[in-house]
Amino acid sequence: MSEAICPCCNSEMGAQGDVVEGRMHYCGSCRGILASDRWLNTNMRQTNLRNVRKSVFDGQAAGYRCPTCHGEMVKGPVTTTQGGSIEVDGCLKCGSLWFDNREIEPFIPDIREKASLPDDSNPILPVISGGMSVAKAMISDLFGAVGSLAGRNEEDSEE
């Protein structure tokens, strides 16, 4: 399995998750997050995810390829539950969504609710504001990943 390269800063992205619950790739440099279709299905309410996908996939070409499958990326404006609007990118081939630094924050309440996390928890904050070691531990704990990034062999899983 080849390493995913961040579409914003060209840094190697870390990954967490597994084949069953999906994978989340994250950039330790610019804090962007690529969430796989399966990860999104596992961690977001379907009604919200459907609205996000419709907005993104009815959008226009994003001008780059998916970091994991090299499919064409498109982008579209997504209205958040707080009434704001952000631009989210999505892959036409694999269905992954790309969130630039902090763009996933409006969806944290949905992710927290689906994962049955306490209201004061922030499941993504370590990824977007903390160090890589904190991010690895937090994602591993919160989303039931098989192992931490540091201890997981790439050939142990297939996507």
Report pLDDT for 107.
82
Domain boundaries, the chain: 14-147
Residues ≥6 apart with Cβ < 8 Å to 128: 31, 33, 101, 102, 104, 105
Angle among Cα 46, 88, 24 to the nearest 5 degrees reads 65
Length of the chain as a residue count? 159
Q: Are 75 and 60 in contact (CB under 8 A)?
A: yes
What is the per-residue pLDDT across 137-151, written as a single tens digit (0 to 9) for each?
Answer: 444 444 443 333 333
What is the per-residue pLDDT across 90-116, written as a single tens digit (0 to 9) for each?
Answer: 999 999 999 999 888 888 877 767 666
- Name residues of the chain where pLDDT drops below 70: 1-2, 112, 114-159
Buried b (16+ CB within 10 A) or exposed e, 118-150: eeeebbbbbbbeeebeebbbbbbebbebeeebe
Coil, helix or strand at residue 71: coil
User: How many Å apart are CA 71 and CA 81, to the nearest integer?
Assistant: 29
User: How many Å apart are CA 149 and CA 134, to the nearest integer?
Assistant: 11
Report pLDDT for 2.
59
Report pLDDT for 63.
96
